[in-house]
Amino acid sequence: MQRAIVIPGKRKNQPFVAVNCASLPENLIESELFGYVKGAFTGASKDGKIGLFETAGNGTIFLDEISEIPLTMQAKLLRVLQEREIIRIGSDNVVRVNARIICSSNKDLLKLVDEGKFKEDLYYRLCVLEVAIPPLRERKEDIPVIAHNLIRRFNKRHGKTVVSIAPSVLAELEKMPLPGNVRELGNILERMVIMTEGTVIDPSVLAKSDIRIAPFPPVPRRGAEVHPAGRTLREMQHTAILRALEQAGGNKSAAARLLGINPTTLWRRLAALDGSKRG
């Protein structure tokens, strides 16, 4: 997704630097992002090191799992966004930076702001343009396309020649909740590509992969009531949405948080409900 945003832009020929914030130890985040000079700390390279913001140059830096950055580091990142400059560890020299910043998070950042776990100023500085991507379990029609793209990648990685995946295997994948989204799907498919002897991932490969198939979890609702028998799923969803909108004072984003779903999903369901009324 982040690369698709970058490709059409004027920075498309500039560096693209991806950073998984969750994988960086807390004591190394600053040195990785901003760099350091010779002798800045014990174990530092004798030549120093430029940080990832400088490496990105006039391109793009992608901060994956931005919610995992500790509060102390969030304050420093906010300064970078405001002033467009960094200071390497151990140096007094200011370095101007011009990289575009794209962030992602699988957590509700506004909720983290309310809980005091994410700086409000940083949230509003980052959230100039928000692209809400529903979880994979809510767009299972995308699974076949994503699966085939992942298979091609894993073929190159492992020297395999898998060209397709059996419809029955795809159907089983579509039943899975996949809380880890594309990364979890990729983990499952990589295992199956490795175990496939021929060119097709068939049910026998799925069976050998020892993957537990779980049903989709119910949509979480606060204050949910036991509904009388005979009501359709659409009617139950409609009731839950109306209750959440009432509790949120008509604010759709807040209602989506009450329901535990993505705002885009809520808007899509509201449109579907409105369409069914007109029909």
Domain boundaries, the chain: 2-126, 136-208, 233-278
Look at residues 166, 169, 152, 161 and name the one whose alpha carbon lies nearest to residue 198: 161
Q: In sequence order, which residues have a C-beta less than 8 Å from that of residue 137 and are 6 or more positions away?
A: 176, 177, 178, 179, 216, 217
CATH number for the segment(s) 233-278: 1.10.10
CA distances from 182 to 67, 107, 147, 177, 204 (A): 19, 15, 9, 11, 23
- Looking at residue 276, what is its pLDDT? 57
**pLDDT tens, residue by residue, 194-249:** 999 999 999 888 888 776 544 444 444 444 444 444 455 566 667 778 877 877 77
**pLDDT tens, residue by residue, 10-55:** 767 788 999 999 888 888 899 999 999 988 887 778 888 899 999 9
CATH number for the segment(s) 2-126: 3.40.50.300
Task: Give yes or no for a contact between 69 and 27, defined as CB atoms under 8 angstroms apart.
Answer: no
Looking at CATH, the fold of the domain delimited by 136-208 is given as: Helicase, Ruva Protein; domain 3 (1.10.8)
